[in-house]
Structure 1
């Protein structure tokens, strides 16, 4: 099966997509807004439909999905290259409401992504509560495989692990500074505070990250999707839950960096240095972002 990765951090910050007029809930994807037109385009191109049912304006969770997942450069590129993107507002009348009824989608709901063929039928079963890139990407892969489409290029994908520490505010700061770590998230697992980590396996390894994190005192336990990859690691399961937004990237809060629209990758690195080495934090910003805080 082909894997669809998030773009590497260096590519993400140096090749930022142009800002759009999209509401924050739907990210940076160029959306179609008409189901019949999307179906026709799907027939013409052979691409399946990436149908987002989203609340606009939406709740904090809807906004977080748009900001973190649907604004990720790699995900946006994959959607626009391999799918026909279709946006349906789940809290509007008219054509949007007609599509909701057609697909029996609830109104005023959290985001739901469905993958449709050119006849408007689901390629893979509908699934609710898909709120992260790690959960969405495998479903994109499965839909494309079901549609008989493959990705020409297969760049390396990001991998993940969770590290336990006494305080995930410290965990995000120290782990985010480790070479090859692209994203961090404060969360809870097994009754503990943990930092969920995504990393670029072409630049580092689970063993290297764990060794460095232990030296910094932020890896009292290690959780992996496949514990066999590291001696002593434990199983990471779907019981993991992210911490509230107020606990994410705590080092950014109260600093000039907090007012910037940062990509998740940028936020990870800037959070690592915002209070300890502001000059280094600036290295992860674009020239326009630097001008904004000066």
Structure 2
């Protein structure tokens, strides 16, 4: 009996280790990865989806773990990798098949994470680039690779790349009601996020916009057209470019955010209120959910669309 108990006791560590080994390493995030290059290339050839190849140190350093927790676990990144790409994970600090793939692509061992976008012939769709370790940078390269591969780019992925971009600028618009302001200004192409707030005792909507899509004068004109520009304020450095014939333009000063209950008011009371949305998604859904639900749904992932349909 004692021998049987002892034998069972000795087996427990190996059982525990076996169970633990099935858990996904934090460095890999939450994406469901393929691990065989040839299988990924064959799948890419059949589907036309580019291969999203993550070369990662596993187990890895603190930076590798942070990349896994923050970037490769971001819900929109995960959704895009799994639906628009063929996911492939290569350990850059292992032997065997992983080492063979490293040598084939000239990837250094024990390196920080590198993402490469491959076609079915194992060729880079866009040039390899090191030190892209943030959500915005990865999202932007995903958009570029899909465009180069003549694949459709989901609206939510474009928004995520823009939302994280350092090129975004801001402007504050005063109007009669910031609930209306968020809705109307959020509909403008190039407006990435909106926020209800107060400045100089007035209700205002703070906008972040992409100057590569819409210039400041164009934004002001669009805001005037929908009667959401009784006054306009911009950062002092942008005052010289804030041209308008009718309005007086001032510098942003003393702005404060409105309470949470006043944010994205159009979403409140709809099935979309139960969704977890990125700031840019929330802006666009808020802009259209009341008047054009189908258009609002276009800014969601397939899983979010299913949730929205199930909750309506």
Q: TM-score, normalised by structure 2?
A: 0.48
The answer to whether residue 119 in structure 2 is matched with residue 117 in structure 1 is yes
Distance 1:105 1:232 in 2: 46
Contact map agreement 1:160 1:224 (CA 8 A) in 2: no
Give how far 1:143 is off. Answer: 0.5
Distance 1:123 1:62 in 2: 24
Aligned to 2:236: 232
Which residues in structure 2 correspond to 1:57-206 (within 5 Å)?
57-151=59-153, 153=155, 157-158=159-160, 159-160=163-164, 201-204=192-195
Give how far 1:231 is off. Answer: 3.0
Offset from partner CA, 1:46-83 (integer Å, 9 cap, x none): 10000000000000000000000000111100010000
Contact map agreement 1:156 1:201 (CA 8 A) in 2: no
Distance 1:100 1:155 in 2: 29
Distance 1:49 1:55 in 2: 19
Gap runs ≥5 in structure 1: 1-19, 163-179, 181-199, 213-222, 235-262, 266-294
Distance 1:98 1:155 in 2: 32
Larger Rg: 2
Change (3 A) 1:155 1:70: closer
- Size of the aligned set, in residue pairs, is 170
Distance 2:121 2:36 in 1: 14
Give how far 1:232 is off. Answer: 2.0
Gap runs ≥5 in structure 2: 1-21, 167-181, 183-190, 201-207, 217-233, 239-275, 279-312
Change (3 A) 1:204 1:155: farther
Name the SS of the counterpart of 2:236 in structure 1: coil
Change (3 A) 1:82 1:94: same
Name the SS of the counterpart of 2:129 in structure 1: coil
Distance 2:193 2:73 in 1: 23
Give how far 1:21 is off. Answer: 2.5
Which structure has more relative contact order (CA 8 Å, sep 6+)? It is 1
Q: TM-score, normalised by structure 1?
A: 0.51
Contact map agreement 1:112 1:129 (CA 8 A) in 2: yes
